[in-house]
Amino acid sequence: MFIDKPTSQLVAEKSKYAIQLDEQAAQLKGQLLKDIQRSIYVYRIDCGGCNGCEIEIFAALTPLFDVERFGIKVVSSPRHADVLVYTGSMTRSMRVPAMRAYHAAPDPKICVAYGACGCSGGIFHDLYCVWGGADKFIPIDVYIPGCPPTPAATVYGFAMALGMLGQKMKTTHHIQGDDERALLPHPKVPLALRVDVDREARRMAGYLYGNQIAEKFMEIFESDPKHVEQNVQSYLDGQNDPRLTEIMDRLVQIHLNQGEK
Amino acid sequence: MLKLFREVLKVGTATLPYPFEPIEQMPGFRGKPHHDPEKCIACAACATACPPNALNITTDLDQGVQTWSLFMGRCIYCGRCEEVCPTGAIMLSPDFELAVMNKQDLFERADYRLATCRLCGNYFAPVKEIEYVSALLRQSNIPEDELNNTLSMLEVCPACKRKNDVPKTVNLFQEEGSDVH
């Protein structure tokens, strides 16, 4: 069920083994984050992931996205690395290798938490053997969420770390207004018809396309409740899609049956 | 050699210009869940459905506040929240540029007021949820007296409903003359 923890506590929560940066290292790192524009060497540490993130990292290296045009290169030793990319939910047994890689990389270094697991433990966050994200003890500079992040999201994350692009996400806090209320969708459509149409469309086409089809039907109904059958037919003639025709015909049938009652 | 150059010229550049130009996402791409706080009724359907607990609902019964929160760092973009949302407040957007330097920026939060029970005065359910349900009941074609009866019970908390229902049920059984035990 739900985790009863305020969000501020979730952010602040860190392991007692967390690595603390000394003043000099922090200053160097700040300078690096500000000035890094040249080629960077990336070392990738899989701390218990499903390999989805690795596939997307290598997809970002393919000619289609080609991160090597920014000088980003994946190296096979942390001793050559400027950037450490932590993927995976940080299992108990990968904790020490992750720390060894961190200490092996020369200072100053940038640490990236990659994927939902690297950022917070992701879907594995409450497993007994999972520490829940690299930031529990590694000082992380850039978080790239996604499950897995697409190659474009990877390119964006690295471009942000290199100072080429700005951050787009911002934390928001909405407080309910005085006369704020949720409006009923399609108030002109009778409730019984709306519910039945929605259910049937979702049953036949799944929630995403079912919703879209039901919305379209409701739009046609609202524009002219008396000539639904003809208007649906003229819409379907333009679409030329037998699956859509089948579903829409069912919805019209539901409408006609309810009209008879 | 020349043949190769001709081939290269024919194929052109395969590399996408992203991040210098925007990239087009395929239709149906599941990106950041976009939450419309005005449409949300804080019913907690999304928090119950969310597989990795990226969506959370916490209830503060002392202050009378129900807090909806989304932690983007945990979201797996499965779309379950969109599927279960009764008001369409959550929709998965094609937005994928989610990387942050500060973890706090991955959090979204919305506070909703709780309504008090008509009988005992305790907080029990979000005001917006009760208003939405009463609007739905008014829209449905149930008879007038039944509708008024149901609407009056909307503002009563489950504990008080139970307390009221037990004597009623006992009376019903006694009227019928059957054995309650």
Closest partner residue to A7 (CB to CB) among B18, B109, B113 is B109
Instruction: Give kind and range of the element (H or E) at residue B113.
Output: strand B107-116
Alpha-carbon span B103 to B72, nearest angstrom: 10
Domain that holds residue B125: 28-166
- Is A9 within 8 Å of chain B by CB? no
Evaluate whether residue B73 is within a structural domain.
yes
> Following CA atoms B118, B122, B125, B127 in sequence, which dihedral angle do they give, to the nearest 10 degrees?
60
Sheet containing A110-114, strands listed edge to edge, beginning at the edge strand earlier in sequence: A73-74, A41-46, A83-87, A110-114, A142-144
Give how far A178 is from chain B: nearest CA, Å: 10
Evaluate whether residue B9 is within a structural domain.
no
| Cis before A151 (ω within 30) | no
Scanning the structure block, which residue is given the tokens 């049920």?
A: B169
User: pTM score, two decimals?
Assistant: 0.86
Q: What is the complex's ipTM, to 2 decimals?
A: 0.84
Evaluate whether residue B178 is within a structural domain.
no
pLDDT in tens, B97-123: 999 988 999 999 999 999 999 999 999
Say if CB B93 and CB B34 are below 8 A apart.
yes
DSSP bridge partners of B55 = B70
pLDDT tens-digit profile, chain B (181 residues): 889 999 989 988 888 888 888 888 888 899 999 999 999 999 999 999 999 999 999 999 999 999 999 999 999 999 999 999 999 999 999 999 999 988 999 999 999 999 999 999 999 999 999 999 999 999 888 899 999 988 988 989 999 999 888 888 888 877 776 555 5
Helix (H, G, I), strand (E, B) or coil at B125: strand
Q: Enumerate residues 6+ apart whose C-beta is below 8 A from A220.
A: A228, A231, A232, A235
What the block records as the tokens of B14 is: 């395969």
Chain A residues whose beta carbon lies within 8 Å of the beta carbon of residue B97: 153, 156, 168-169
Evaluate whether residue B175 is within a structural domain.
no
CATH architecture of A13-161: 3-Layer(aba) Sandwich (3.40)
pLDDT in tens, B35-59: 999 999 999 999 999 999 999 999 9
Parse chain A into domains and list their residue ranges.
13-161, 191-260
Q: What is the DSSP letter of B45?
A: H
CA of A171: how far to CAs of B3, B31, B111, in Å? 55, 17, 14
What the block records as the tokens of B118 is: 């008509």
| Number of domains chain B contains | 1
CATH number for the domain that contains residue B109: 3.30.70.20
Evaluate whether residue B10 is within a structural domain.
no
Give how far B124 is from chain A: nearest CA, Å: 17
Using CA coordinates, name the residue in chain A closest to B19: A156
Evaluate whether residue B1 is within a structural domain.
no
Chain A residues whose beta carbon lies within 8 Å of the beta carbon of residue B131: 181-182
Say if CB B125 and CB B133 are below 8 A apart.
no
Chain A residues whose beta carbon lies within 8 Å of the beta carbon of residue B58: 2, 4-6
